[in-house]
A and B are shown apart, each in its own frame.
Chain A
Amino acid sequence: MTLRAAMNFRAVWAIYRVEMARAFRTVLQSIISPVISTSLYFVVFGSAIGSRITEIDGISYGAFIVPGLIMLSLLTQSISNASFAIYFPKFVGSIYELLSAPVSYLEIVIAYVGGAATKSIILGLIILATASLFVPLHIEHPFWMIAFLVLTAVTFSLFGFIIGIWAKSFEQLQLVPLLIVTPLTFLGGSFYSIHMLPGIWKTITLFNPVVYLISGFRWSFYGKADVSVGVSLGMTLVFLAVCIAIVAWIFKTGYRLRN
């Protein structure tokens, strides 16, 4: 059987198109709003406060926070895009059509996660372009920068997909991003190097998975990292594998979808 016959590519494309159309329909919320908030971070942290902070690892503070800010948006937007994309049809009931269609679990995940990841990657690149207006940027390892961007967007879109299936209300949908992901991102070295933390806090921070994402991503820009790049990549891949395993379990059992 050829791949073309084995896969329902038309369904993947149909779902992906709808997801992308939603982003363009809500362009203000999807693109402009994160760009404005990122610009505000630059004004506050980069210019107002950053001008009083000395360089970190030989990098100006304004430039230092760029990878962290992109990661911040990438994580939150990947989660919110994917969780909303699957939760909304559950909420209005139109999920029946997806479940009754000749679509495999893999195709559903590729379409929804692909849509959510594409949107957040576009957003990440827009933020990068916005940042370049405020600070001079230098990307030392462009391939790895794109690799970390894509890997993180896909991983957290998968995570968002899981949240969207798990959530029974809009409140639950917001719970994990608001109470877990955002604090972890802020405490994960978006705005500082973890070397700046006192001893015990530095050790505690190493349990925060977001540290590895930001560190690896920052390395791709400036060649300097809080933790080794191999560990960063490994941790990202572990989180990706965990998300894939949970999604596989969800589809195998029909958890909150077919029961």
Chain B
Amino acid sequence: MPSILSISGVSKTYATGFTALKEVTLDIQRGEIFALLGPNGAGKTTLISIVCGIVNRSTGTVTVDGHDISKDYRAARSLIGLVPQELTIDAFESVWATVNYSRGLFGKPVNHGFVEKVLRDLSLWDKKDAKAITLSGGMKRRLMIAKALSHEPRILFLDEPTAGVDVELRQDMWEMVRRLREDGVTIILTTHYIEEAEAMADRVGVINRGEIILVENKAELMRKLGRKRLVMELRNPLPAIPEAFSGYALELSPDGGQLTYTYDNQAERPGVASLIRDLEAGGIQFRDIDTQNSSLEEIFVNLVRREP
């Protein structure tokens, strides 16, 4: 699939001397949902801000659908919609006025029908005459999205879009993201709710200390780096893990009724079969057995910890 966004060797050093990004290279494919994960201060927002033209980069090039963001900034920016992390709206403007303003700012002709559709899709239509200051936090978040969609972008950046929003709104938002993707919009999101990246993203990128440390198809990433857990409910609780099992990565629950074995599912010999055989031989019986995949969150934490 051809890339719609190409970031090549982008670095950013602020006037304070702080280096927020180091030689970042990243390609985003047309029509995909890409989740950019990283701890606070990793450089996610700086990267998004550079692509959108909000922050000047120190080095590197960025092209959006083939348009250089400096030389051909009009064409590049026209394709991008941005929903920033903070709720930053002119509080005294009405919903209707501020969304139409955004559309005009991006050079699109007046289209009240389209703006109405955007507001209806985001359940904001009955608030169209309300001033932004009177809206709830969730409504303001919807308004930020409406503004970003007002000029019909082909790439949508969602910077921590669900931070601080309730469950219902979060679900609505993800539903909207799916609809946009069906319409061919490329979505790039950063989130701390890793389960959402897990549920939504096609690919995942991990950024830490200004460097992209991994970009991988989500399913592949989970397959490669995922660890599995084998959880056994014991018929008779154990006071401690017997010495004979010290070679296995076993954990015993505090009540002694549950044994957990963590293993690498990519290993040639994960050791599950031999463990079960040894347990039986040792007279340790279990009444139930379950396996669990590690979550994307665990993978992410492990990756970031691995960094020096």
Binding site for B on A (CB under 8 A): 8, 10-11, 13-15, 17-18, 21-22, 25, 88-89, 92-94, 96-104, 254, 258-259
Evaluate contact between A14 and B90: CB separation under 8 angstroms.
Answer: no
A259 to B102, CA, bound (A): 23
Q: Which of B80, B86, B92 contacts A100 (CB 8 A)?
A: B80
> With A8-B74, A92-B91, A259-B14 as given contacts, are A101 and B106 in contact (CB-CB < 8 Å)?
yes
Tell me whether A97 and B15 are in contact (CB under 8 A): no
CB distance from A198 to the nearest CB of B (A): 49
Q: With A21-B97, A100-B82 known to touch, is A94 a contact of B89 (CB < 8 Å)?
A: yes
Q: Does B77 sit at the interface, judged by CB under 8 A?
A: yes
Question: What number of B residues sit within 8 Å (CB to CB) of A?
Answer: 36
A13 touches B104 (CB 8 A): yes
For the complex, give the distance between the alpha carbons of A21 and B54 in Å. 26
Confirm or deny: B73 has a beta carbon within 8 angstroms of a beta carbon on chain A. Answer: yes
Determine the distance from Cα of A3 to Cα of B105 in the docked complex, in whole angstroms. 17
Report chain A residues within 8 Å CB of B100.
14
The reply to whether B88 and A93 contact each other, CB–CB distance below 8 Å, is yes
Asked whether B104 lies within 8 Å of A258 as measured between CB atoms, the reply is no
Q: Verify B101–A18 contact, CB threshold 8 A.
A: yes
B93 engages A96 (CB within 8 Å): no
Q: Are A11 and B105 in contact (CB under 8 A)?
A: yes
Question: Of B15, B84, B93, B107, which is within 8 A of A18 by CB?
Answer: B93
A104 CB contacts on chain B under 8 angstroms: 74
- Shortest A112–chain B CB gap in Å is 13
A10, A93, A97: the one contacting B107 at CB < 8 Å is A10
B102/A97 in contact, CB under 8 A:
yes
Nearest-Cβ distance from residue A240 to partner chain B, whole angstroms: 27
**With A100-B82, A259-B15 as contacts: A11 and B88 at CB distance below 8 Å:** no
Asked if residues B88 and A258 are in contact (CB atoms below 8 Å), the reply is no
* Chain A residue at minimal CB-CB distance from B12: A259
A100 contacts across to B, CB distance below 8 A:
52-54, 77, 80, 82
Q: Once the chains bind, are B56 and A259 in contact (CB under 8 Å)? A: yes
- B88 pairs with A94, CB closer than 8 A: yes
Q: Do the beta carbons of B109 and A93 come within 8 Å of each other?
A: no
B294 lies within 8 A of chain A by Cβ: no
Q: Are A97 and B56 in contact (CB under 8 A)?
A: no
Which of B55, B75, B84, B104 is in CB contact (< 8 Å) with A14?
A: B104
Which of A11, A88, A254 is B104 in contact with, Cβ under 8 Å?
A11
Q: For residue A25, which residues in chain B have a CB less than 8 angstroms away from its CB?
A: 92
The reply to whether the CB of B44 lies closer than 8 angstroms to some CB of chain A is no
Q: Indicate whether A98 sits within 8 Å of B105 (C-beta atoms), given known contacts A21-B97, A259-B15, A259-B55.
A: yes
B57 → chain A closest CB, angstroms: 10
Interface: B154 (CB within 8 A) = no
What 9 A-B pairs have minimum CB-CB distances, sorted nearest first? A14-B104, A93-B88, A102-B74, A100-B52, A102-B77, A101-B105, A8-B107, A99-B54, A94-B88
How many Å from the CB of B74 to the closest CB on chain A? 4
B53, B90, B102: the one contacting A99 at CB < 8 Å is: B53
- B107:A92 contact, CB within 8 angstroms: no
Q: Are B107 and A102 within 8 A (Cβ)?
A: yes
Complexed CA–CA distance, A13 and B106 (Å) = 11
- Cβ-defined partner of A97 (8 Å) among B74, B75, B105: B105
The answer for the CA separation of A104 and B97 in the assembled complex, in Å, is 22
Those of B82-137 within 8 Å (CB) of chain A: 82, 84, 86, 88-93, 97, 100-109
Chain B residues 154 to 184 lying within 8 A of chain A, measured CB to CB, are none
Cβ contacts under 8 Å, A258 to chain B: 53-56
Cα-based distance from A17 to B105 in the complex (angstroms): 11
Given A11-B107, A100-B53, are A94 and B90 also a contact pair (CB < 8 Å)? yes
B residues near A8, Cβ cutoff 8 Å: 74, 107
Could you say which of A17, A92, A103, A259 contacts B88, with CB atoms under 8 Å apart? A92
Q: At the interface, yes or no: B203 with Cβ under 8 Å from chain A? A: no
A98 closest partner in B (C-beta) = B105
